[in-house]
Amino acid sequence: MLEVIDKGCATASHPVPLLFVHGAYHAAWCWDENFVDYFADKGFRALAVSLRGHGQSTRCTPLHSCSIADYLEDVRAVADKLGCEPVCPSDTPWGASSCRSTSRSTVPQLQVLMAPATPKGVRRSVLRMVCRHPWIFMRASTFGSSADLVNTPALAREFLFCGHTPEAIVKSCAARMEPESARAGLDQMFVRPPKGDRVTAPVLVLGARYDGSRIGDTDVSSTARTYETEAEFFPNMGHNMMLEPGWRDVADHICEWLATKNL
């Protein structure tokens, strides 16, 4: 059983639903804090799913054996029930791609990527984490929990938030970090980059200037180039753009971009 937060309803101005897909260590709650209500109030049907083994979603197999393909199935399962193909804002390239794979029509599917990794996966980000915290990484990879990489206020601020974020927000997020699947992690280490000539719909790529999970602006810009667009960056923000104090600026930008696409 998948946990799905579902608010608002489709309107004539915004007929296409938004299905928010979380990244590693998180669950649907990270979108429900701000974004789901924001877009529901704007006249969208806004949903957020917790992938299997995250949040209140159950799983039939051990968490460590869950793959990215399994997560894609979860997103497909929710999208199939919506009656039309949703736009899937996500902080993972495969999250948005999963919604493209649900399409049963010839209508190109828009994508919104927030602080994504490079199209080649998260190898650079993982190497950075290993170099900075070798003991914590070794413990998390062996006898500890994978959430140990981000579940303290200090680590959450380093990798997920910027230095300006109020401590209360950082602590609240750190306390809610969940273990991630080892197999899914490996899947994201070795992915096949999407081919630019297969991108048939507009893609909005957003980045955060102080994203501790990425290598400067390079990772996000690389993703944007793959999708034949340019990344747009927000100042004074860390990786968790949906939770940072400036989240409304990001939401406004997405809303305005969707309006230009008549959505």
Tens-digit pLDDT profile for residues 62-90: 998 999 999 999 999 999 999 888 999 99
Give the pLDDT mean for 92-117: 62
Q: Is the pLDDT of residue 218 over 90?
A: no
Query: pLDDT-based confidence at 38, cuts 50/70/90?
Result: very high
| Per-residue pLDDT at 199 exceeds 90 | no
Query: Beta strands 3-7 and 46-50: pairing type?
Result: antiparallel
Averaged over 124-137, what is the pLDDT?
85
| Helices within 46-166 (DSSP H only) | 68-79, 93-102, 123-132, 134-141, 153-160
Q: Which whole-number Å values give the CA distances from 136 to 130, 141, 238, 262, in the listed order? A: 8, 8, 21, 47
Q: Label residue 196 by pLDDT band (50, 70, 90).
A: low
Q: Per-residue pLDDT averaged across 180-195, rounded? A: 75
Place of tokens 């979603």: 57
**CA atoms in the 13 A half-sphere facing the CB of 166:** 7
Mean of per-residue pLDDT scores for the chain: 88
Rounded Cα–Cα distance for residues 89 and 67 (Å): 20
C-alpha to C-alpha distances, 138 to 23, 90, 145, 149, nearest whole angstrom = 22, 28, 10, 10
Other C-beta atoms within 10 Å of 115: how many? 29
Give percent of the chain with pLDDT exceeding 90.
62
Q: Is residue 98 predicted with pLDDT exceeding 70?
A: no
Give the C-alpha separation, 208 to 246, whole Å. Answer: 11
What does 167-182 look like in DSSP terms, one character per residue? HHHHHHHHHT-----H
Supply 59's token pair: 């799983």
Q: Report how far apart, in Å, the C-alpha atoms of 63 and of each of 36, 141, 183, 249 are.
A: 26, 14, 9, 35
Q: pTM surpassing 0.75?
A: yes
Going from the N-terminus, what domains does the chain have, and what CATH number goes with each? 3-260 (3.40.50.1820)
Cα 103 from Cα 140, distance rounded (Å): 37
